[in-house]
A and B are shown apart, each in its own frame.
Chain A
Amino acid sequence: MGLVESGKLPKSLTTLLNTSRKYSLWVYQWGLACCAIEMGAAFGSPRYDVMRLGVIPLPASPRQADFVCVSGTVTDKMAPAIRRLYEQMPEPKYVISMGSCANCGGPYWDSYSVTKGIDQIIPVDVYVPGCPPRPEALLEGIVLLQEIIQHEDMQEKWNKDPLELGA
């Protein structure tokens, strides 16, 4: 860690660390609506089998998770809980927004009670479009997230100031 903070991490070591990180992702499932079933199909069914990508879908709490998959309609009543559990996750943390509702409000774009996109409350790394997206689409989203992690400069990621959220 000292090496990382001093900013003198050799490139080969960064690649090694990133490769290890991207293949051991613990995902916190924030299943909310229709998308939760498709997320369950991707994470819990033998046909899609997310574990072959190195993703472990069942951490006991957000404190053990590397990324959160928010799938479904986020309402204004639910939004504070999402923010709170996101803040409990340890850094480095990532967010996948699954489905049109989590991305932008989706079919409820003019509803009085739906939050139009979770990027208003937490920063999103990967958006998966669809209503709901097929499990294959979610798997592609996870692969994209792994690419982000692979090309990440950890010095930049860990040396910067604490995240200012929702400012």
Chain B
Amino acid sequence: MTAISDRRQMAYVAAQAADARVNVELEAEGMTLNIGPQHPATHGTLRIVARLDGEQVIEAEPIMGYMHRGYEKLTEVRTYPQVTTLVNRIDWLGSFCNEVPFILAAEQLMEIEAPPRAQHIRTILFELGRIAHVSLFLGDLGVQLGAVTPVFYAFRDREHVLNQIEAATGGRFHPNFDRIGGVKDDLPAGWIAETRQVLQKLREFCDLIDGLLFGNEIFEARTRGIGVIPADVGLSYGLSGANIRASGVDWDLRRDAPNGLVYDKVDWKVWTHPDGDAYARSWVRLQEVRESCDIVEQLLDTMPPGPIMAKVPRIIKVPEGEAYVATENPLGEMGYYIVSKGGLEPFRVKIRSASFNNMSITPWLLQGAYVPDVITILASLYFILGDIDR
């Protein structure tokens, strides 16, 4: 495999040659297609400049930074509890999942361990966040391919999960519920029974989507064999999450490094798919929603009694040191590298978010793709712009 710069150089030469050829044959120039920065199919504010030869993409360049909010600098002027509020909004669909690795890293520095009940509540909310996150993907995928119906079902059934998150945390979208040493509140009365009903609804939603999308001939025709990522290429670009599992790599941080979440007490399975195309990526995500429902169900059965907060000083000062904790977020590996100098605020926080790496493969992947497949490939890679730009 050539280096990226070499490949881009080759692509540029190829573009020039193609332009010359088209100019001679058709007396026309190659076309540059600009997608974004505001486009319904880019999940936010991604801009892609694609050079076309007819209907084929010769070279595609993603331009980011339209959603750069300066997170890493802002965390340096916020106290640790305030940072939780801020990092909620990195990957805005799976808000609670963003808090957990930061809190775990801070806990590791302070040498605090959350009580078992708090760990259970954390894991349950983590998985509920994943369900709400990925169920919207499953609906949105249809829209990108021209089927509008699935998104209505997705929004309808996602609301049930959001209701449960809101009942437990008070926040429908950005919970800000995780604390150093535990969680803010205990679960409200009757929550467990209600959540069981909601999980049943979500399983029905998965069956519905399975029939509507994955059993649909047109959907298969538009996703099978589109945007194939071989496992070694995916790994070299640092892909994580369902994108790499769809290429047949059996790697899931929930199983391989549970880091203070209680996945080891649950009987569950990591789904993979050998194909590595857009269909495989979507299929793996569908199975993961089902698996998450099972995980939450089992955790609800084995909820331990006890306190929800460890003993934590009123004013949180994190001792000097460095820690990196990563968890398997809905989009992939998300980690925080915290450097503390013993103050109220972190000295430096490096955020490793999944989407940035997942998106970095697009120039390689879009080369040679047809224009209608560009949207399919972008949709199946599934990134959130806030997670890319931070």
Contacts and interface: CB of A to CB of B under 8 A. Distances in A.
B174 interface: yes
A3 to B, nearest CB: 37
Interface string B80-93: 00000110010011
Interface in B310-342: none
Interface in B134-178: 136, 151-152, 155-156, 159, 172-174
B155 A44 contact: yes
Contact of A110 (B65, B77, B152, B155): B77
A29 B65 CA distance: 20
Given A75-B66, A78-B66, A132 B73 contact: no
Contact of A111 (B70, B151, B156, B386): B70
Contact of B38 (A30, A38, A47, A114): A30
Contacts of A47: 155-156, 159
B386 A45 contact: no
A81 B37 contact: yes
Nearest to A131: B174
Nearest to A134: B172
B7 interface: no
A46 B74 CA distance: 38
Contact of B74 (A41, A45, A73, A111): A111
A104 to B, nearest CB: 14
A4 interface: no
A41 B155 CA distance: 6
B44 interface: yes
Contacts of A30: 38
Nearest to A41: B155
A114 B69 contact: yes
A45 B44 contact: no
Contact of B173 (A37, A46, A73, A111): A37
B38 A85 contact: yes
Contacts of A144: none
Most B-side CB within 10 Å, residue of A29, A30, A41, A110: A41
Given A33-B89, A107-B89, A132-B173, A113 B155 contact: no
Interface string B283-314: 00000000000000000000000000000000
A117 B142 CA distance: 34
B155 A78 contact: no
A85 B85 CA distance: 32
Interface string A23-35: 0000001111110
Nearest to A58: B40
A110 B74 contact: yes
Given A37-B92, A46-B155, A32 B70 contact: no
Nearest to B66: A78
Contact of A44 (B68, B69, B151, B173): B151
A44 to B, nearest CB: 6
B70 A31 contact: no
Contact of B67 (A33, A81, A134): A33
A138 interface: no
A108 interface: yes
B123 interface: no
B368 to A, nearest CB: 29
Contacts of B386: 33-34
A44 B142 CA distance: 13
Nearest to A38: B173
Interface of A: 29-34, 36-38, 40-41, 44-47, 73, 75, 77-78, 81, 85, 107-108, 110-114, 131-132, 134
The 7 lowest CB-CB distance pairs between A and B, nearest first, are A45-B155, A34-B92, A111-B70, A78-B66, A113-B70, A108-B69, A113-B68
Given A31-B44, A33-B89, 14 more contacts: A34-B89, A34-B173, A37-B173, A44-B155, A75-B65, A75-B67, A75-B68, A78-B67, A107-B89, A108-B69, A113-B68, A113-B69, A131-B174, A132-B174
11 contacts: A33-B89, A33-B385, A37-B136, A45-B156, A47-B155, A47-B159, A77-B66, A108-B70, A108-B74, A110-B77, A131-B174
